[in-house]
Structures are given as C-alpha cells and as structure tokens.
C-alpha cells in the first residue's frame, strides 16, 4: 500500500512514477478524498478544542461559586451539547472517508524503484547476465519434457485430468521421487545459506491475501473455499509474510530469513492457451520460497543476495539460465524492483521463468502493518519485505528432463541431486 502522506506531499512524483507502469492510474480521486478527510479532521479538532474550552470555563465558574442553574452556566452547557452533536455527526463521515481512502489505496500498485528500467512490456525487459553456456546440451534431438516424461512413465496427465481437470499432473515412480529429491535439495541448500525453514498453513484468510497484495486485484487468480474465509495459497509468500502481520518486531531480530516448501494453487485465469502442455503452467505445483523481512536501508543489498541464493540452486544443478530485470511495464503489482531467473529449455530453444525475485519496499508491510522498533526509540518503522522462488520445483524438473536428456532416451540425474535421488539415471 502506498503512503497517503507521501501521495499528499508528492503528488507529481507519484503521478510520474505510476505513469512508468502504463496508463490507468489516476490519483485525482484519492487526493480529493484526502483533502476532504483533512478538512473534516480540522473541523473536528476545532470543535473538540472549543468543547474542551467550554468544559474548562464551566469548571472554573463553578469553582468560583457560580450557580449551576444560572443562565450563563445553562447557556454554556447547551453550547457544549450542540458541539457534541456536531462531533457525533462528523465521526461517521470521517470513518467513511477513511474507508474510501483505504479502498482507493488498495487499487494502486507499488511505485517502481528509481533504478527499475522504464519500458512498456516484457519485450523491454533488460538481460543482466547469463550463466552456464558450457552446460548447454549437445543433443540436438531433445524431446519436450512432457513427451520424454510420458515415455519414461514418470509423468501422467490423462489420469490427473480424470481425478481433477486439465493443467494437473500425476507424478509416478521416479517422477515423484525426483520431485521429492528436488524439494529436499533446495531446502537443505537454502537453510545452509542462512534461511530458517518454516512449514506454514497453505489455507490463508482474506486479510493475508490483502496484505501481500493478491487481494483485491487478483481474486480471480486464486481458489477460494466458499464455505469459509479461506483461500488456497498461490505461493508461500502469502502465509510466510503474514506470520508477522500486525506485529512490532524488535530491531535486533532483523533481518528475518525464511524458506518454505508448499504446494501452490493458481487458476491461471489470464493465461488461456498458454503452455497447455507439460508442467510449466499448472493449477497445482510445488515451490520452495524465500522470504525476507529487513531494515529499509539494507533492502537493496538484501535483494541482490536473495537473487544470488536462488541462482545458487541452478548453478549447483548446472542448468543454464539468465537473469532478467523487469521493466516498469512488466513489473508485478506489489514489486518496486524485480529480477526473473529464466532457465534454458532446449526443446523450445527458449529461456523460461523459474524464479521471480522481488523487492516490495514497505508496500506489503503497510498493508499488513508489519513494523519494527529500535530499543531506545519511541516510534516504529515499517519493515521492507522481499521474496523469490528458490525454486519452482516443476519447472526445475522440466529443465532437468530436457537439459539432461541422453540420446538413448534416459535422463542423467544432476550430480548434486544424486545423493537425494539415489540413482545416477532415470
């Protein structure tokens, strides 16, 4: 959530930075509502001060021996009562205006970082670096991951459709074991890098989704349990960040690093016709997520470190990838700066996203009221939140099935993964 005070004091800057994201973000309405709210607040403060003065005057006159039934005292009391009526009428107006302002604020995305490249769409994203060209496969006859997976009997889509619907997969035998091996491998690597593992609930309430900015804008992307105020988590970012919602964290306890494995659930409502085959874009998938809560002054450096922690998994598996910095027109709703890691999928001759690493600044912390306090200071500050996939399990499996595919139709298991999988080939 944007800071209404920052919007009030810097309207032109806010307009300009929102415009970098594209059209459709007009702050005129919220500026008007804020002005009305402040006018009401001023009026209420003046009336309250006048009411206090009347009460004080009455008290002084009574101490001086004035008759409580005198015309002067009765007149002052009547004036005081009229002010109380006015104040009682102003309170609901103020409450309504504040609710309207909050509803407006929830509609606005985060302001892009000053260092985020300006662009209209994904075509204007910036490639930062590539890694692993020496590991690009020499096999020129590589089957798509879904095809080799079905040939090996480790991926089954037809039976998953029977159980659920399209865009689900059933992992069988070595496929299930490979998924489990990847989960354990990633969690071990990230805990070694300093992240504390958590296993959070995967059903989350509406307040949690609102705090991490999936609601209200992306309600159609999530699966909701109609009988309860519960949703299937679209990513572990939601439950892990919300572990600290409405809390004040002691500054000495920052930074907080968490990693979490969870199943993730997304409708993919806006992706009709995209990636209909394979395990790139499923309604249910597994992911290891990295989440950080940090001091504002360290968040940029923490972001770069988080990206490196996600990259370390790809490097350990020797999977070629590149790092892309998203431009303003492709930036996620809550992010102020974002890097995508894209792994090489040789069957299509393309790099495909396998991790998105975002710095949200205080955007999520304001929505979730997550603050920290220095030991000897009175006030509190909002933390900065960051997260990224470390990594998406299914997409990692797809990359292994293609990049490690052998001419004889077998799959070589990456050396770093062999202790977890227990075999060298599939």
Cα–Cα distance measured from residue 413 to residue 37, given in angstroms and rounded to the nearest whole number:
62
**Which CA distances in Å does 371 have to 99, 339, 376, 421?**
22, 25, 15, 42
Query: What is the pLDDT at residue 161?
Result: 96
Is the pLDDT confidence value at 285 over 70? yes
Residues 6+ apart with CB under 8 A from 150: 156, 157
Over the Cα atoms of the chain, what is R_g? Answer: 28
On the question of pLDDT at 298 being above 80, the answer is yes
101: three-class secondary structure by DSSP: helix
Asked whether 176 and 411 are in contact (CB, 8 A), the reply is no
The confidence band for 362, taking pLDDT boundaries of 50, 70 and 90, is: very high
Euclidean distance between CA atoms 87 and 102, whole angstroms? 22
Task: Tell me the mean pLDDT in the region 20-39.
Answer: 94
Average pLDDT over residues 42-58: 92
Q: Is 287 helix (H, G, I), strand (E, B) or coil?
A: strand
Mean pLDDT of 77-102: 93
Which class for 98: exposed (0-12), middle (13-18), buried (19 or more C-beta within 10 A)?
Answer: middle
**pLDDT tier, 273 (very low <50, low <70, confident <90, very high otherwise):** confident
Strands 196-197 and 284-294 turn out to be unpaired
DSSP characters over 169-230: -EE-THHHHHHHHHHHHHHHHHHHTTPEE----SEE-HHHHHHTT-TTTTGGGS-EETTTTE
SS3 of residue 105 by DSSP: helix
Q: What is the pLDDT of residues 171-223, one digit of tens each?
A: 999 999 999 999 999 999 999 999 999 999 999 999 999 999 999 999 999 99
What is the model's pLDDT at position 322?
98
**pLDDT of 87 over the 70 cut:** yes
Domains contained in the chain, CATH given? 4-107 (1.10.287.40), 122-421 (3.30.930.10)
Whether the per-residue pLDDT at 268 is higher than 90: the answer is: no
Q: List Cα–Cα distances, 200 to 31, 197, 204, 263, 351, in angstroms.
A: 39, 10, 10, 11, 31
Q: Quote the pTM value.
A: 0.93
Number of H-type helices and E-type strands within the chain: 13, 16
- The answer on pLDDT for 71 being more than 90 is no
d(CA 400, CA 217): 35
280-301 burial, b if ≥16 CB within 10 A, otherwise e? bbbbbbbbbbbbbbbeeeebbe
Share of the chain above pLDDT 70, in %: 99
Position 125 scores a pLDDT of 98
Confidence of residue 416 (pLDDT cuts 50, 70, 90): very high
**Would you give the end-to-end CA distance of the chain in angstroms?**
48
Backbone angles phi, psi at 218, to 5 degrees: -115, 35
Residue 116: predicted pLDDT: 98
Geometric angle at alpha carbon 234, from 229 and 237, rounded to 5°? 100
Q: What is the pLDDT of residue 270?
A: 66
- 119-162 pLDDT, tens per residue? 999 999 999 999 999 999 988 789 999 999 999 999 999 999 99
Mean pLDDT of the chain: 95
pLDDT tens track for 370-396: 999 999 899 999 999 999 999 999 999
pLDDT for 92:
92
């Amino acid at each position: 959530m944007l800071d209404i005070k920052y919007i009030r004091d810097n309207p032109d800057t806010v307009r300009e930075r929102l415009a970098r994201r594209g059209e459709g973000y007009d702050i005129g309405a919220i500026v008007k509502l804020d002005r009305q709210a402040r006018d009401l607040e001023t009026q209420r403060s003046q009336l309250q001060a006048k009411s206090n003065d009347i009460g004080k005057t009455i008290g002084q006159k009574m101490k001086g021996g004035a008759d409580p039934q005198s015309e002067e005292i009765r007149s002052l009391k009547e004036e005081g009562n009229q002010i109380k009526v006015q104040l009682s009428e102003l309170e609901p107006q103020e409450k309504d205006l504040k609710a309207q302002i909050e509803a407006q604020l929830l509609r606005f995305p985060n302001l892009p970082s000053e260092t985020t490249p300006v662009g209209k769409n994904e075509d204007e994203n910036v490639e930062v670096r590539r890694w692993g060209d020496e590991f690009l496969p020499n096999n020129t006859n590589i089957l798509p991951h879904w095809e080799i997976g079905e040939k090996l009997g480790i991926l089954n889509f037809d039976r998953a459709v029977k159980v659920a619907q399209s865009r689900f997969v059933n992992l069988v035998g070595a496929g299930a074991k490979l998924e489990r091996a990847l989960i354990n491998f990633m969690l071990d690597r990230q805990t070694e890098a300093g992240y504390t593992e958590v296993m959070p609930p995967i059903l989350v309430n509406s307040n949690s989704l609102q705090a991490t900015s999936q609601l209200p804008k992306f309600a159609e992307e999530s699966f909701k349990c109609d009988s309860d105020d519960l949703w299937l988590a679209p990513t572990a970012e939601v439950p892990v960040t919300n572990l600290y919602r409405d809390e004040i964290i002691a500054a000495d306890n920052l930074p907080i690093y968490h990693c979490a494995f969870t199943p993730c659930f997304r409708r993919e409502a806006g992706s009709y016709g995209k990636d209909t085959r394979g395990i790139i874009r499923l309604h249910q998938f597994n992911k290891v997520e990295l989440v950080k809560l940090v001091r504002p002054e360290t968040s940029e450096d923490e972001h770069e470190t988080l990206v490196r922690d996600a990259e370390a998994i790809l490097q350990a598996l020797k999977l070629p990838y590149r790092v892309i910095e998203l431009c303003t027109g492709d930036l996620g709703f809550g992010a102020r700066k974002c890097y995508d890691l894209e792994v090489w999928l040789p069957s299509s001759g393309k790099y495909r996203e396998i991790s998105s690493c975002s710095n949200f600044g205080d955007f999520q912390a304001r929505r979730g009221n997550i603050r920290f306090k220095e030991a000897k200071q009175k006030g509190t500050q909002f933390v900065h939140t960051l997260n990224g996939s470390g990594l998406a399990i299914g997409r990692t499996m797809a990359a292994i099935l293609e990049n490690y595919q052998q001419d004889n139709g077998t799959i070589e298991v990456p050396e770093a993964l062999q202790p977890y999988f227990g075999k060298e080939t599939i």
